[in-house]
Structure 1
Amino acid sequence: MKIMIVEDEALLALELEMEVEAAGHEVVGTAASRCAALEIVDQTGPQFAFVDVHLSDGPSGIDIGRHLASTGIPFVFVTGNVKRIPDDFAGAIGAIEKPYTMNGLQNALTYLTARVSGLQPSTPPPGLILAE
């Protein structure tokens, strides 16, 4: 799966990228701001995205999420404050709360990959909050 990462903390973005690639996926771009994220969407057409809510240019992750939802790209928010996510989750499948463990992230990625592929995985792993 071609995955985009929207995260303004460089170390977290790098760790997430390494985990995504270790799981056999391709990271098509990493963005720290709204403009950079929209450019990656237009240029690479990701199949999935991890989106931080608060970026270097403010709480623009919600805007990015709404754009992804409008183009049919599934995504999850990755955030330290799930209360910042709107009630409708801005079209996200769900959210992963920071700080997360690498094992928790791997389990979430396995679940999300199955779900995006059209399978109906049973129970979401702990640490993955699904939108209603």
Structure 2
Amino acid sequence: MPQKVLIVEDEYLIALDMEAALEDAGFISAGIASTREEVRAKVRQNRPDIALVDLHLADGLTGHLIGEELGKLGARVVFVTANPSLVAQGVPHALGVIEKPADEDSLLDVVRWASEASMHTQTSQLPPRFQRFA
């Protein structure tokens, strides 16, 4: 069954590009959100399996909080940010981070890996450019 991916990004053109690439690769969009409230509404409508979360959003530096909330709900969270050092110590319930700009292939590699994350072990190969949280 295709995985549902929520995109949490306040730059709408970037979010649309991500969504198109994911859908072309066979994933289902769970929507695009740019604030904590929008994320909560999207989750009520369509609980995502995976969430791609930027850190700086329309309501400020809330991405790490959103990521933790989504992780607690069972979503596999990957941060997609130009500032990976802000989450270098990790975020509870999140898988890791990939630095922006992330080309389409790198993004899809990370989402494919996250879609199978429950089967991965510590020795499994991580996607290039992905930094897994301990």
Q: Same fold by TM (over 0.5)? A: yes
Matched ranges for 1:65-80 at <5 A: 65-80=67-82
Greater alpha carbon shift after TM alignment, 102-111 vs 19-28: 102-111
* Structure 1 position 120 matched with structure 2 position 120: yes
Q: 2:97 aligns with which of 75, 95, 112?
A: 95
Matched ranges for 1:1-132 at <5 A: 1-85=3-87, 87-115=89-117, 118-120=118-120, 122-132=124-134
Deviating above 2 A after TM superposition, structure 1's stretches of 4 or more consecutive aligned residues are 118-122
How far apart are the structure 1 equivalents of 2:35 and 2:102? Answer: 22
Amino acid at match of 2:130: L
Amino acid at match of 2:107: L
- Cα displacement (A) at 1:90: 3.2
Select the structure that is richer in strand. 2
How far apart are the structure 2 equivalents of 1:16 and 1:92? Answer: 19
C-alpha distance after superposition, 1:58-92 (max 9, x if no partner): 01111111211221221111100011116232321
How far apart are the structure 2 equivalents of 1:86 and 1:124? Answer: 17
Greater alpha carbon shift after TM alignment, 46-55 vs 81-90: 81-90
C-alpha distance after superposition, 1:80-131 (max 9, x if no partner): 001111623232101111011112112222222222xx32272112111101
Preserved CA contact (<8 Å) 1:62 1:90: no
- TM-score, normalization by structure 1: 0.91
How far apart are the structure 2 equivalents of 1:120 and 1:63? Answer: 25
- TM-score, normalization by structure 2: 0.89
Cα gap change, 1:106/1:73 in structure 2, threshold over 3 Å: closer, same or farther?
A: closer
Amino acid at match of 1:20: L
RMSD: 1.5
